[in-house]
Homo-oligomer: A and B are copies of this chain.
Amino acid sequence: MDEPALKMITQPDAATNPPAHEVIYRRLRDQILFGEIAPGQALTIQGLADRLSAGMTPVREAIRRLTAEGALVFQGNRRVCVPELTAENISEIIYARQWLESHLGLRATERATPAALTRLTEIDRAVDRAILAGDLRSYLQGNHAFHAMIYDLADAPILAEMAERLWLRFGPSLRVVIGRIGTQNLPDKHKDMLECMRTGDSEGAARAMREDMLQGMEQIRDMLDLSERDN
């Protein structure tokens, strides 16, 4: 009597699957992570709702998540904005990442499959291409993807989440730094890292991860020292 096939015909909305607040969260998160929203810039819920052409309820939920993750902070009583890092903040982040990156790098090396190494090598090549092309956005995305994949390989979800969350804090500043000094002469310990992973040298991989992190963080710290001296 009724057509059961009708449902499949009238259902091209498989793309609607992820809820709106999730989509908005992801978009805002990426925009913060890759520095498209400048540190210190104020955001309003209604402004975001208009800009992303969404209702304000999903925007509110996305903002709650991001403030809980430290990617946004309450400014005064009513507004939120991307926080501006201080030199002390960077020292804390360096201290935490020292432990996190080296440990995750070590575990990832112990667990890496050949397929994973192939994929990591591909990502690193994309990073190289972005550096040569001076493509800032692609560099930042690729660099993050490289570390994120290592976190994933490490099979330590809690530590990986802690590491990911720190990216949200220094990401905006990283963008400013790289945008200032250009994508040339960037530190890249990724080659060392890959070589250690291929040979199973987990201690060396931990050292490479730590050094790669340190070089990037030192650049941010130098910039912050300069701008704080200006005041």
Contact = CB atoms under 8 A, between A and B. Distances in A.
Contacts of A70: 158, 161
A interface secondary structure, majority: helix
Interface string A29-73: 000000000000000000000000000010011001101111000
Contact of A103 (B57, B60, B95, B158): B95
Contacts of A95: 99, 103, 159
A25 to B, nearest CB: 9
Given A68-B68, A68-B69, A99-B99, A92 B158 contact: yes
A156 B68 contact: no
A158 B94 CA distance: 11
Interface string A80-113: 0000000011001101100110010000000000
Number of copies of this kind of chain in the complex? 2
A28 B60 CA distance: 19
A61 B21 CA distance: 11
A162 interface: yes
Contacts of A100: 96
A207 interface: no
B92 A156 contact: yes
Contacts of A175: none
A161 B73 CA distance: 13
Contact of A158 (B156, B157, B169): B169
Interface in A152-197: 156-159, 161-162, 166, 169
Contacts of A156: 88, 92
Contacts of A169: 158
Contacts of A57: 57
Given A92-B157, A95-B159, 19 more contacts: A21-B64, A60-B61, A61-B61, A61-B64, A64-B68, A65-B65, A65-B67, A65-B68, A68-B68, A70-B158, A89-B157, A89-B158, A92-B158, A93-B158, A95-B99, A95-B103, A96-B158, A96-B162, A99-B99
